[in-house]
């Protein structure tokens, strides 16, 4: 059961990693479509989205094999620059209480 939950978390994080290049591809393709509002623009839009999705799949799969998607995202989301602020505030609050 634990392996299934672990796999599910890794898969959800894999989808989160894949979605970034896919959204960038959709945006770039949307810019092409904005300037070329004809069938060529639609083809460029879909092509950019597919290229972004493929690049995202390759990138996320590589991350999953090397270090794990959860570890990768936790390194990206972490804010070590702000950690000392919380520690400083908690020390000041403790000193006020004493």
What tokens does 31 get? 């810019």
pTM: 0.73
pLDDT of residue 78: 76
> What whole-number distance in Å separates Cα of residue 6 and Cα of residue 79?
24
Mean pLDDT of the chain: 85
Nearest to 47 by CA among 19, 21, 25, 20: 25
Q: What are the C-alpha distances in Å from 19 to residues 23, 35, 48, 81?
A: 6, 24, 13, 27
pLDDT band at 89 (very low <50, low <70, confident <90, very high): low
């Amino acid at each position: 059961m634990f392996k299934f939950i672990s796999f599910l978390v890794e898969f959800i994080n894999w989808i989160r990693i894949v979605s970034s290049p896919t959204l960038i591809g959709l945006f770039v393709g949307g810019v092409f479509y904005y300037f070329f509002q004809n069938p060529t623009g639609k083809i460029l839009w879909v092509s950019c989205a597919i290229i972004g999705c493929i690049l995202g799949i390759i990138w996320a799969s590589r991350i999953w094999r090397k270090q794990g998607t959860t570890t990768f995202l936790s390194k990206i989301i972490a804010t070590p620059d702000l950690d000392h602020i919380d520690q400083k505030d908690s020390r000041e609050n403790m000193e006020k209480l004493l």
